[in-house]
Structure 1
Amino acid sequence: MNTHQTDSSASPAPTARVAAAYARIAEADRPEVWITLRDQAEVLAEASALEERISGGAELPLAGVLVAVKDNVDVAGLPTTAACPEFAYTPSETASSIARLVEAGAIVLGKTNLDQFATGLVGTRSPYGAVRNALHPELISGGSSSGSAVAVALGIADIGIGTDTAGSGRVPAAFNGLVGIKASLGIIPVHGVVPACADYDAVTVFAATLDLATRAAAIMAGPEPRDPRSRTWPADVRFAAAQSPRLAIPVPANLTPLSPAYREAFDKTVAAALEAGFKIDIVDIAPLLEAALLLYDGAIVAERYAAVGTFLDSRPAGADPTVTAIISAAEMPSGHAFADDLSALARTRSAALRLLESFDALLLPTTTEHPTLAAVQDDPIGINRRLGTYTNFCNLLDLAAVAIPGAATATGEPFGVMLVVPAFGDQVAIDLAARLQHASATPLLVETGVELAVFGAHLRDQPLHWQLEELGARFAGSIRTTDAYRLTAMDTTPPKPGLVRTAPGHGAPIVGELFRLSEAGLGRFLAALPAPMALTAIELGDGRTVVGFTATHDATATAADITEHGGWKAYLSAR
């Protein structure tokens, strides 16, 4: 990993961070990273104003975090070129995802280079120059979000904003040793983004750490009325991965596209997952790999022509010939061919859900190899096609993915893997990524839902805790009630305590645990709750009131009073 990479949690004051970034820009000498770089004095003035807000008590979760924005995403007052000079326009409005970062205290450094019109996975298809890899300059950086990824990997920016239709928010992460989050389609709005394939575009984030990438994605997420494809977390969203997670990995035949070095690195990554306690099974993902071909080889590519085809038909001087050939060829598919491809995707999407329903996630290599700039120049189409082998199908099949570094290759080059989950399983993928990276804490992307207090058989390590796991509930901490509660031991199977409210001062604080789960999950939980258990408002010692377990008075009237133990686990230990 590049020693210049930074985590904003330890960042200096915003003005010092900005000064360090511009010093790093001069030191790195990578002009191909930027299409538009803001003037240092202007950015320093913004950082100084930010410091005044912080001194005044403003709470800004991303205060002073520096952002590099892919130049197909609008920032008011800065040109948007999509890496084609003749296409350039200057927006008056900032894309909603970027505006949310700025509202949280982030500072935009400038607009970064990309594969023109976000068409490519190599980072070389730009009149502004090929973006070299941050760690090995003779190798490609990956595309299309090349500049954003390299700006982060070089330690210039803390966050890189990209887009991902076929893997552009994940392949550059793998090549530059970064984390890349491609959330479920629509969760981060694409308002203010130049479309590539409008139905399959996603705004993505790069960072050196999973924590920072997740915090940024959580701030960008949320419905946007100006984006007709925007979505929000569903009522049954899962908030956590299982305690004993199961991963699916491809059968050997699915891994033949990997270079020998990448195959060895993937095997090492799988071995590390086993050592970390993951359960792993082998599955055949051939239908998914076949669906991936539809993005460029099928009629779906017509969406790229719909986005910028008419503009490219005017033969602008700055158009990349490879990009032009791909998009111009997409003018011809017939309507019935497009409909046939949509039907094929629907069938494969259903098959993918069935394939993944027994697993927490699918673990895949992010890409197949790490080519040199010279190799891509010699074979721009063939290499690019191979690089998207494992990424192309994700958006087509409505899957989310988190890309993280895997085991390095034998020669020390970065290698990346992805945790792929069904739509809205994003938090599960982040949890699993954190475990694979042995993170001390797991960041939260999904922050909706309701809290549930439990005091007995649903506690962790107790016999009914599996019911919470099945609903994707997330442990939110230990709790203690006020002294207005008594605890009894009821004669049930399995044994359970009954928590009952009494007058303040006539009971004792009772220890329990708090979990966060979805609204639909809580409804399912309540519907299946057996008598004499019930849910009610529980008063906690810290002043909060949460939904929690209680029991009917008639069921606890004759039960043994165990209040003196202060909690169910303490009572069981005393027995």
Structure 2
Amino acid sequence: MPCRARDEANHVTETVAAIVAAHRAGTMTPAQTVARSYQRIREHNDPAIFISLRDEKDAHAEAGRLAYPWLRLDGRPVPVQDNIDVAGLPTAAACLAFSYVPARDSTAVARLRAAGAIIIGKTNLDQFATGLVGVRSPYGIPRNPVRGDLVPGGSSSGSAVAVSAGLVPLALGTDTAGSGRVPAMLNNIVGLKPSLGLISNAGLVPACRTLDCISVFSLTADDALAALAVMAGPDDADPFSRDRPLAPLTTFPAKLKLGIPKSGQLIFFGDREAEKAYGEACKRWQSLGAELVEFDLEPFYETARLLYEGPWVAERYLVIRDLLASSPDAIHPVTREITIGGARPTAADTFSALYRLQALRRVAERTFAQCDAIVLPTAPTVYSTADVLANPIELNSRLGTYTNFVNLLDLCGLALPAAMRPDGAPFGITLLAPAGRDAELAGIGRVFHADTGLGLGAKALPQQPLAAVPAQAGPNEITIAAVGAHLSGMALNHELTTLNARLLEEAVTAPDYKLYALDTTPPKPGMLRIEAGAGHAIKLELWAMSAAAFGKFVAAIPPPLAIGTVRPADGRQAKGFIVEPAAIDGAKDISAYGGWRAFMAEKAKA
């Protein structure tokens, strides 16, 4: 293939969705995709991006063993920030004296692996995830691939740069005060900050344990949501985990209301280009049909001040208290200066701040009662590495102007590229909404990003047309998951069609199930849910059925089958067939087939 044609082919296999499509079509293999990432890492030659890399042969071999091409993250190379555990790789949080080698994956990483992702290494960060600049690490400062003099953003510097530079299509960071959003803006990529507790923090080195969340960097909102769907779900290993089912992706609403601050309330620190870019972004939202509604930003500013001026710094202090006492010089000087202040707040200070925060949360609730989401600059301006090194605390604080309040108010966020400024610096906006609206933000954010026509990442790769939003059950319908004889064309499918059920889409379950061949007439499988991540992803179909028809359908189901809640891989919930545990005694485990059709096809050959 000529070089130019090969480059163009690569351009359309950069996003997560495009890579999976190529794997399923057979035009690329997971092993080739992993090899491509390692080659790009070598060619990019920035040793400050990764703190540790997995052995390439091991990653390549794992990719070659993938047996289920329908997995959501089939063969996608994914690095994770070095405060998230990956079995066998050191977790240092950018501090060698703190380093340890975990025996098991964090829950988020385990779920990524179960969905087919190939973990390739650990990325650099502001030490102990304390910073928004990406320069507070003894492992070096990753070069900003969009404009080399700018800071890469932090704390998730390495992950954001790896995605922007085209080394990987997806990476994990964290976000306590903006670490999953500021680097997204500075690198012209998407940063998804999920609702608190949506992704388990088991296996995450905490920064502020009550506020931390694992974040996602990608080139598109669709890719970020796909990764979130794989990782989302409650986890008994994390006491801060919440059972917040992820809603399906929605289309752009006909009557969208977006909140913008009252005139004169925004702060840009004299950056006229950023101010102009935000105004143009607001006009773009209006051209897309959104109504802009003014709200009072001052209570949000007050909330932001609580994060570092209030007692929450004590949470950061708790994490490294012993290290501060035994080896203070092992901690970055700026990180040490910030964190040591966490020893000062009293219990009275803490309760006073909690009382004020609760009052501010009520104000925020009233704001969101008037709009679907608010839209703010991701950061008010940009800074060079030289500027930040000369004034590390004040300039870092400025970058958190529109991010520090978000987790204190229990909001979800989506950072999106909005413009490339005349000086070559990227500008981005962030959508914020109450917890639980993650998919809703992705549904509107993807349309905004596409409308900008901006190239993706530092390579300015062309955006591909937006994929159609999958069909969904209506307001008076129930979603049914069919896994066996009720699948299209199978023996009992007529039981769905005669009740006017309609097929929505093909999907797979989360990797939490086993499938058994039961001794029934006609042949049927039984699907049993087991420990999260310890089973298989099972192919299924999602159907929509009226509530009245659902009652008739359930009444006709014979034992040992029953209707329970089934969890597809994208985090949604559906009603579907499950089996009574006693019925699987002596039944053949057919989980390795990945679905009933594959088993029946193999059986027909015998």
Question: Which TM-score tier does this pair reach, normalised by the shorter chain?
Answer: 0.7 to 0.9
C-alpha distance in 1 between matches for 2:250 and 2:47 = 42
Between the aligned residues of both structures, percent identity stands at 40
- The answer on whether the counterparts of 2:415 and 2:428 sit within 8 Å (CA) in structure 1 is yes
1:38-88 deviation digits (Å, cap 9, x = unpaired): 1212211111122xx14xxx6311111110100000000000000000000
1:318 aligns with 2:330: yes
Amino acid at match of 2:466: S
C-alpha distance in 2 between matches for 1:40 and 1:512 = 46
Cα 1:510–1:164 change in 2 (3 A) is closer
1:38 aligns with 2:44: no
Amino acid at match of 2:380: T
Deviation larger for 5-14 or 109-118: 5-14
Q: How does 1:109-120 map to 2 (within 5 A)?
A: 109-120=120-131
- Equivalent of 1:440, from 443, 446, 466? 466
1:417 aligns with 2:429: yes
Cα 1:543–1:393 change in 2 (3 A) is closer
- Equivalent of 1:9, from 3, 14, 17? 17
Cα 1:119–1:450 change in 2 (3 A) is same
C-alpha distance in 2 between matches for 1:169 and 1:159 = 13
Question: Which is greater in Rg?
Answer: 1
Q: How does 1:234-273 map to 2 (within 5 A)?
A: 242-258=253-269, 259-273=271-285
- The answer on whether the counterparts of 1:166 and 1:391 sit within 8 Å (CA) in structure 2 is yes
C-alpha distance in 1 between matches for 2:414 and 2:379 = 13
- Equivalent of 1:217, from 222, 228, 245? 228
- SS across alignment from 1:402: strand
C-alpha distance in 2 between matches for 1:4 and 1:302 = 46
Q: Match for residue 95 of structure 1?
A: 106
Amino acid at match of 1:196: A
TM-score by length of 1: 0.76
Q: Match for residue 500 of structure 1?
A: none
Q: Match for residue 363 of structure 2?
A: 351
CA displacement at 1:319 relative to structure 2: 1.3
Cα 1:257–1:59 change in 2 (3 A) is same
- Equivalent of 2:154, from 143, 150, 173? 143
Cα 1:269–1:123 change in 2 (3 A) is same
Amino acid at match of 1:39: D
Amino acid at match of 1:299: P
RMSD of the alignment, in Å? 3.0
- SS across alignment from 1:249: strand
- SS across alignment from 1:45: helix
Q: Match for residue 23 of structure 1?
A: 39
- SS across alignment from 1:62: coil
1:174 aligns with 2:174: no
C-alpha distance in 2 between matches for 1:329 and 1:276 = 46
C-alpha distance in 2 between matches for 1:240 and 1:191 = 33
C-alpha distance in 2 between matches for 1:26 and 1:324 = 33
CA displacement at 1:408 relative to structure 2: 2.1
Flag structure 2 segments of 5+ consecutive residues without an equivalent. Answer: 1-9, 20-27, 451-464, 480-493, 506-540, 550-606
Flag structure 1 segments of 5+ consecutive residues without an equivalent. Answer: 455-472, 475-503, 516-541, 551-575
Cα 1:270–1:544 change in 2 (3 A) is closer
1:104 aligns with 2:120: no
C-alpha distance in 2 between matches for 1:341 and 1:207 = 35
CA displacement at 1:443 relative to structure 2: 6.2
Cα 1:360–1:228 change in 2 (3 A) is same
C-alpha distance in 1 between matches for 2:441 and 2:412 = 8
- Equivalent of 2:82, from 71, 77, 92? 71
C-alpha distance in 2 between matches for 1:328 and 1:229 = 25
- The answer on whether the counterparts of 2:177 and 2:400 sit within 8 Å (CA) in structure 1 is yes
- Equivalent of 1:61, from 59, 63, 72? 72
CA displacement at 1:281 relative to structure 2: 1.7
- SS across alignment from 2:146: coil
Cα 1:176–1:5 change in 2 (3 A) is farther
TM-score by length of 2: 0.72
Cα 1:443–1:162 change in 2 (3 A) is farther
- SS across alignment from 2:160: helix
Cα 1:440–1:331 change in 2 (3 A) is same
1:290 aligns with 2:302: yes
C-alpha distance in 1 between matches for 2:88 and 2:193 = 27
1:195-246 deviation digits (Å, cap 9, x = unpaired): 0000000000000111111100110000000000001226999967642101
C-alpha distance in 2 between matches for 1:242 and 1:145 = 32
C-alpha distance in 1 between matches for 2:402 and 2:12 = 29
